[in-house]
Structure formats: C-alpha cells, structure tokens
Amino acid sequence: MSIRSRILGAAAAGTALAALGIPGVAVGAAPDGPGEEGVEQPCVVDCGPVEPGPDDGGGFDPQGPGSFQQCTENEVTPGDDCYDHPQDPGGGGSNSGGGSPGSGGEDAPRRADPNFTG
Amino acid sequence: MAVRRTLTVAVSLATLTLGVAACGGAGGSRADDPSPDHRSSPASTAPAPAAPAAAHTVARATGAEVAVYADPDAPVPERHLPGTTEFGFRRSFLVLDEQGDALEVLLPIRPNGSTGWIRRADVELQPVDHEIDVDLEARTLTLRAGGDVVLETPAAIGAPDAATPTGRFFVTDLLDTGDPDHDYGPFAAGLSGYSNFISEFAGGDGQIGIHGTNDPASIGEAVSHGCVRVPNDVITTLATTVPIGTPVTIH
C-alpha cells in the first residue's frame, strides 16, 4: 500500500487534504473503526494558479502563465508542500519590443524644415 | 593634429578667387583654380585617377560660443559666434591654417569666403576625408572620399537672377524634412555660404544648401533660387554619408 493509500484511510487525512483544497478526495469514516481503505487518487494535484512570473523576454519561465505545481504520489501527505515538476522549457516569452533606435551620432540628420534658398 | 599645408595654400587661393568671382553666377567658373583639391573632373562616371587622400580638418565648437579673432595674436576677439547653428548642430569651421594655438578657419558668415582665427581650446578637431564639388557649368555634383569619386550626379543650380554663389564652403547642417515629397526632398544640407542675390528666404537669411526635390524634371536645369538640387536618392546618400564640416567647392 502506498503511503498515499494509508493516508487516505485515516480519518484525519480527509480534513487535512480538504484543507489543501484538493477536490474529490474520499475521506474515510471516523471515528469508528479503522476506516475504509483509501482510494487511489490522481497524484496530480493542482495547487491552484500561481502568479505569473515576470516576463524576461525569453527562455524558460517556470512561473510563467499557465504553469502549475504538481505533487508526486509519494509526497502527498498532509502538510507537504507542492513542488514543481520539471517541465520542458516553454516557448520563448514575448519580447517587450525592440529598443529605441540609436541616435545615429552627432552628424545624423535632424528633423527640421529647411529655410535655405531652395 | 597637423593641418595640411597644401590644403592651406589651396584654400587661400580659393578665397582670393572668391573675392573676384563672388557674383559671377554661372559664369563664375573657377577653371583657373590651380589647386588639385578644387580641380573639377569632367562629367564622367570614370573614377578619378588615384589621388592622395583629402585630409581636411574640421573644428567643432565645444562651448556656448566661439570667439573669432582678426589675427592669431589679437588680444580681443572681433566677434563671437554661437556654439550651435540655428538647427542645433555644433558650430563647425573648416580649418585653413594653424599658428600655435590659433586656427585660421573659414567662417559661415557673410560675405562668402570670410575667414578668421579661433582658439584651439574652444574647439575639437576632426579629420574629414569627404569633399563635394559642384560644377556650375556642367551642372553636376561630385562626391569624393579620400580623393576617389563616390558618386557624380546631374544637379539643378541657381537661375541666372539667383545664381548659385561660387567659392569654398562647408556643410553646416544636415536636415531631415520627414517627407520625400517635400519641396526639398527628404533631406537638405545647409552650407556655410549665402546667396548673393537673396538676403531673406522662407524665414532664413539666404543660406544656400544642397537638397533633393519634388520636381525631378528640374535636375540639370538652372532654375533654383541658389541652392543645388540633386535627385532624392543622391541627397539621401549625402545626408547619411558626409559629416558636418565636409568641404564643398562650387565653381
């Protein structure tokens, strides 16, 4: 029996997991008897949306939009923290736009209405 | 930075010639100008024969104004010029000669060809190897770099009653009109010279320039108020290639 199953057999676990906001967790009857054997639950726990991290313009952003945290099967115990599964590097974030054009130097033409003799 | 004596001699001769030919208009050809730098090549696309690099020196103001002296040892300046042009470019001077800490320069003032002495401490020196030659008789403009012809193009020049002045000048301003269909095309280069016929034009003081046009059919004709008109692609090249201070010889 996995750690997870044993936990789900404990009456207290229901409350604990409920506190984590995990949907669909079966909770054994309590306090009479050992309680029913727990039911295997999907190990993936959606810990809820996380705040998108800053978009640094590219590269892997583990906290970027759409990422979520997952828990491993063996670590689903009350009070455990979720952790990030390794994820494939995401696509490049959107660039914030190119920098402003350079000044072109001291001799670059300047916008002006000429008043030469024409 | 050493100023080439050959240039000094050439420009001095040009200045003297200017005094004679200032109002000569299209007839003011400088065929007698003996300086190699000023010699006009025929209207031809063939590169000029190998010539020594034209190392001109430009002095650029570093302060709010530049004191101009009548001679290198004069204790008191005869005038002051603003450190920037009306278009915001640093005031530049074409250097003709040097004597100790004094530099003889071509001034961007009336009358055309005026010279004076400035203090080296008031400017920064910069070499320029571009030069522009305008042949009024052939109605062409030629750009050289290091003595080699970079481009040659037909040009419109001043009408007989507003002839383009002849002499030795330099580029003072490079303006972007922001509109290829502007009367002056996409760009205009202000020169250090002034019309001998017009003292006020469009709010300006008769300063001449080189610019593009929205009337390409006028290229090659003597129809302007004194400016030199070139095709828009040429002025675009000039405006993005030549530095402020580039010498311009009109003959």
Q: Is B175 helix (H, G, I), strand (E, B) or coil?
A: strand
Residue B106: what pLDDT?
Answer: 98
3-state percent breakdown (helix, strand, coil) of chain B, nearest 5: 15, 40, 45
CB pairs under 8 A between A and B: 81
pLDDT over 60 (residue B155)? yes
CA distance A108 to B1: 25
For B200-218, the pLDDT digits (tens) are 998 899 999 999 999 999 9
For B160-173, the pLDDT digits (tens) are 999 999 999 999 99
- Is pLDDT larger for residue A27 or for residue B43? A27
Q: Pairing between strand A110-111 and B167-176?
A: parallel
| Average pLDDT of the residues in A56-62 | 44
CA distance B168 to chain A (A): 17
- Is pLDDT larger for residue B229 or for residue B51? B229
Contact yes or no for A117 and B240 at CB 8 A = no
- Is pLDDT larger for residue A26 or for residue B115? B115
Q: Do residues B198 and B226 make contact, with C-beta atoms less than 8 angstroms apart?
A: yes
Active site residue B23: no
Residue A97: what pLDDT?
Answer: 40
Q: Is B121 helix (H, G, I), strand (E, B) or coil?
A: helix
Q: At which residue do the structure tokens 């593009």 appear? A: B212
Least confident of B16-25, B43-52, B56-65: B16-25
Tokens representing residue A103 in the block: 């000044």
pLDDT over 70 (residue B220)? yes
Nearest CA among B154, B163, B161, B149 for reference residue B216: B154
For B178-194, the pLDDT digits (tens) are 999 999 999 999 999 99
Tell me what percent of the residues of chain B surpass a pLDDT of 90. 77
**Residue A102 in contact with partner chain B when CB distance is under 8 A:** no
CA distance B45 to B93: 31
Q: Do residues A111 and B178 make contact, with C-beta atoms less than 8 angstroms apart?
A: yes
For B85-134, the pLDDT digits (tens) are 999 999 999 999 999 999 999 999 999 999 999 999 999 999 999 999 99
Supply the ipTM of this predicted assembly: 0.74
Q: At which residue do the structure tokens 């402020």 appear? A: B244
**Residue A103 in contact with partner chain B when CB distance is under 8 A:** no
The DSSP secondary-structure symbol of B7 reads H
Q: Chain centroid to CA B13: how far?
A: 16
Which element (helix H / strand E) includes B104?
A: strand B102-106
Residue B79: what pLDDT?
Answer: 98
Nearest by CB: A117 against B89, B178, B201 = B201
For A79-110, the pLDDT digits (tens) are 444 444 444 444 444 444 434 334 458 899 99
pTM, two decimals, is 0.61
Residue A37: what pLDDT?
Answer: 52
Tokens representing residue A83 in the block: 């952790």
CA distance B135 to B44: 12
